[in-house]
Amino acid sequence: MIRTAVPADVPVIHAMVRELAEYEKAPHEAKATEEQLHEALFGERPAAYAHIAESDDGEVAGFALWFLNFSTWRGVHGIYLEDLYVRPERRGGGHGKALLTELARICVERGYERLEWSVLDWNAPSIAFYESLGARPQDEWTVYRLTDEALAGLGGQG
């Protein structure tokens, strides 16, 4: 059901990124191209990794795209799950759990001590799913982000 992504998966991963952006009500923010995803996943120095969930009929049901982070407090790497997406018609078939199980297995196998991700606060079905697996929100932390003009300005380019 779960396999490591290969270069031929880039078009379907790109399509699912767009589907996820639609679901999250931000399609205008999904600007990555297939070429960028290919370079990030399969270039000379990969910056991210992906796993594909397939249904029994061989169709792609979903994906997980992730990268390594590092905890100075724990002194080891962890996995940051950037995207977890299962196509609506395939939800409820265990694909999301299987993808998270694979990432947890990688963490345990490699000695990583954290598997982290973000979820939109209005996404009640996903929150309930994550909590059913034992994940807990990190309520005391607020995510901050610099992009576009603010990033360029701070970086001396604006």
Q: How far apart are the first and last CA of the chain?
A: 47
Q: Is 130 assigned a catalytic role?
A: yes
The CA-atom distances, in angstroms, between 1 and each of 18, 34, 42, 55, 128 are: 22, 24, 22, 6, 23
Angle of the 10-23 helix axis to the 34-42 helix axis, nearest 10: 120
Q: Give the active site residue among 49, 85, 112, 130.
A: 130
Q: Could you tell me which of 18, 46, 47 has the C-alpha nearest to residue 31?
A: 18
Is 138 exposed, middle or buried (CB count within 10 Å of its CB: 0-12, 13-18, 19+)?
exposed
Catalytically annotated residues: 130
